């Protein structure tokens, strides 16, 4: 038998190795912490932990299995503690709320200032601890905590107090002050879009924190009358007939917000004096309410500019310094460009798939080629779908796919040539897309494998039926030059991307 000293020396060597390995493990855990902070991911994955313990026990001697289990439980506990602490210590600037998957605030703040800004989902039950610890320097607050958070503050700014909701909190040496920069963002947006609410009769849809903010803004703007419409009390959406002479509708409710795109509770055509619609929602860029307003020629504004402007004012408060005002419109334009899809429309064979692919590669964005997606789903070619099931079947499949794809942000969409014939498809495309019409001379259009334009005569007919619709739906018309690189250049110039 070996002597005790000898055995202890052996243990020391093994411990050195274990400590080295634990250090290496913790370095990875630190990377995981960073990843989880950046991506707003929750810490614990119980199934994964159980699987690991099971695997490690499999590789261990029968009499050591429990030891392995206990040691690993401890390693997991400590690692989780480390991750939680890391996330709390590094969450200096950011947004708290309940479902932040939809938020664009991270990108916006990184355009406006140089601090790192993170998103943090918090459960109602953890709110108290979060504010007790108060490790952050400056945060934004969104649904559903804009009202609830007030009780944790030490001070509240007068405008936020009048509104009764807070979206910005600054921590100055442990003292928390609440502000409402949504108000200033909203007011700025009206100036940017040159609309004055003075002497207007305004309907506000929704009765939450954002509705309170808009009510305050309306008082400050000197509106002649305003009315909040709420699902829960009088007047509700059933009572709208009493307000059909109103001039302005402002939606502060989440109806129509991603992922419930295309929902609206209002029939705008009934309103006789409507001249302005404002939807505070920014994803989708154009809600159904906005698309409907545009269709009847009513000026309509989306929530994106306001979102950028409120972030700008929050940034000034976080940093306690002035930031150049032109940052707002610069950032607005950048975010609009990066978050809107680019949808290519045009005649069959005009180059939508080809230029879509090149654009996606150049801009490093996802590509959705609707025709290809239908072929993949059905397992046969477009020509075969037409032959076997007819055009109506194809059109249905096209709308179904568009309904999902058009909710995306920042993607390239190669649409089917005839998709713009249906109003629902036009709405789906326009909600989030910058639409580019690839206008290619008739004689250059490829006709092979395209059931509706096989014959020259039918191609001419399609052209006369569709040309005006392509022009009307598009934000940009590009005359296709017979050189793909030149064509790409023209598209990028139109988009103003260098």
Among 40, 338, 353, 399, binds Mg ion (CB under 5 A): 353
Residues 185, 304: Cα–Cα separation, whole Å? 10
Task: Select 103 or 432, whichever has its Cβ closest to ligand SKM.
Answer: 103
Q: Is 352 annotated as a binding residue?
A: yes
Which of Mg ion, ligand SKM, ligand ATP, none does residue 326 bind (CB under 5 to 8 Å by kind)?
Answer: none
Site residues (CB under 6 A) for ligand SKM, limited to 90-149: 95, 103, 105, 140, 142
Nearest CA-CA partner of 157 in 114, 216, 113, 111: 216
Nearest CA-CA partner of 251 in 186, 198, 321, 314: 186
Residue 34 CB neighbour total at 10 angstroms = 14
x-or-dash pattern for ligand SKM, window 149-178, by CB under 6 A?
------------------x-----------
Q: Is 383 annotated as a binding residue?
A: no
Residues 422, 399: Cα–Cα separation, whole Å? 9
Q: Is 409 in the site for ligand SKM (CB under 6 A)?
A: no
Q: Is 426 annotated as a binding residue?
A: no
Which of Mg ion, ligand ATP, ligand SKM, none does residue 167 bind (CB under 5 to 8 Å by kind)?
Answer: ligand SKM
Q: Determine whether 146 is an active site residue.
A: yes
Task: Select 284 or 348, whichever has its Cβ closest to ligand ATP.
Answer: 348
Token reading at 210: 């954002």
Q: Is 350 annotated as a binding residue?
A: yes
For ligand ATP, the binding residues (CB under 6 A) are: 346, 348-355, 371, 414, 417, 446, 450, 480, 482-484, 487
Residue 261's SS3 state is coil
Nearest CA-CA partner of 317 in 169, 427, 450: 169
Token reading at 351: 């180059």
Q: Minimal distance in Å, beta carbon 77 to Mg ion?
A: 54
Residues 261, 257: Cα–Cα separation, whole Å? 6
Q: Minimal distance in Å, beta carbon 353 to Mg ion?
A: 3
Residue 41's SS3 state is coil
From 206-214, 269-277, 288-296, 363-371, span contacting Mg ion (CB under 5 A): 363-371
Residues 437, 351: Cα–Cα separation, whole Å? 10
| Partners of 414 in beta bridges | 344, 369
Q: Is 383 in the site for Mg ion (CB under 5 A)?
A: no
Site residues (CB under 6 A) for ligand SKM, limited to 190-209: none
Token reading at 187: 């007011």
Q: Is 182 in the site for ligand SKM (CB under 6 A)?
A: yes
Catalytic residue among 146, 286, 407, 490: 146
Which ranges of 40-101 does DSSP label H, i.e. alpha helix?
46-58, 65-90
Q: Minimal distance in Å, beta carbon 291 to ligand ATP?
A: 24
CB-neighbour burial class of residue 422 (10 A; exposed 0-12, middle 13-18, buried 19+): middle
**Can you state the angle between helices 370-378 and 391-405, rounded to 10 degrees?**
110
Which of ligand SKM, ligand ATP, Mg ion, none does residue 94 bind (CB under 5 to 8 Å by kind)?
Answer: none
Catalytic residues: 146
- Detail the residues annotated as belonging to a binding site for substrate: 371, 395, 417, 466
């Amino acid at each position: 038998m070996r002597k005790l000293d000898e055995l202890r020396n052996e243990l020391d060597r093994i411990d050195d190795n274990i400590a080295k390995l634990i250090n290496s493990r913790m370095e990875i855990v630190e990377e995981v912490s960073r990843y989880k902070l950046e991506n707003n991911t929750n810490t614990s994955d119980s199934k994964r932990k159980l699987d690991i313990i099971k695997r490690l026990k499999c590789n261990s001697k029968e009499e050591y299995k429990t030891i392995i289990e206990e040691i690993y439980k401890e390693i997991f506990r400590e690692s989780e503690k480390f991750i939680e602490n890391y996330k709390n210590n590094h969450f200096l600037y950011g947004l708290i709320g309940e479902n932040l998957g939809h938020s664009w605030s991270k990108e916006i703040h990184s355009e406006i200032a140089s601090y790192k800004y993170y998103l943090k989902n918090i459960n109602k039950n953890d709110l108290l601890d979060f504010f007790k610890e108060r490790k952050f320097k400056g945060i934004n607050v969104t649904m559903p905590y804009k009202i609830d958070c007030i009780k944790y503050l030490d001070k509240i700014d007068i405008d936020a107090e009048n509104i009764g909701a807070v979206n910005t909190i600054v921590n100055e040496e442990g003292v928390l002050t609440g502000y409402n920069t949504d108000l200033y963002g909203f007011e700025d947006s009206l100036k940017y879009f040159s609309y004055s609410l003075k002497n207007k009769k305004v309907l506000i849809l929704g009765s939450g924190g954002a509705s309170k903010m808009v009510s305050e803004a309306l008082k400050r703007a000197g509106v002649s009358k305003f009315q909040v419409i709420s699902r829960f009390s009088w007047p509700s959406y059933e009572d709208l007939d009493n307000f059909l002479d109103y001039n302005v509708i402002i939606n502060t409710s989440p109806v129509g917000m991603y992922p419930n795109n295309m929902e609206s509770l209002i029939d705008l055509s009934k309103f006789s004096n409507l001249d302005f619609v404002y939807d505070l929602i920014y994803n989708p860029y154009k809600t159904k309410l906005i698309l409907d307003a545009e269709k009847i020629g009513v000026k309509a504004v989306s929530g994106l500019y306001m979102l950028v402007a409120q972030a700008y004012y929050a940034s000034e408060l976080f940093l306690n310094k002035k930031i150049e005002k032109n940052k707002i419109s610069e950032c607005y334009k950048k975010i609009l460009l990066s978050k809107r899809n680019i949808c290519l429309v045009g005649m069959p064979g005009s180059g939508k798939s080809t230029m879509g692919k090149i654009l996606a590669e150049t801009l490093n964005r996802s590509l959705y080629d609707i025709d290809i997606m239908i072929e993949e789903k059905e397992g046969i070619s477009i020509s075969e779908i037409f032959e076997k099931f007819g055009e109506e079947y194809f059109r249905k499949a096209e709308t179904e796919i568009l309904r999902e794809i058009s909710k995306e942000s920042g993607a390239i969409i190669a649409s089917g040539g005839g998709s713009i014939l249906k109003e629902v498809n036009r709405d789906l495309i326009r909600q989030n897309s910058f639409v580019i019409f690839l206008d290619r001379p008739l004689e250059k259009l490829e006709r092979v494998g395209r059931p509706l334009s096989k014959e020259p005569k039918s191609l001419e007919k399609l052209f006369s039926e569709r040309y005006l619709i392509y022009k009307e739906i598009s934000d940009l018309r590009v005359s296709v030059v017979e050189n793909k690189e030149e064509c790409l250049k023209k598209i990028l110039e139109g988009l103003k991307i260098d």
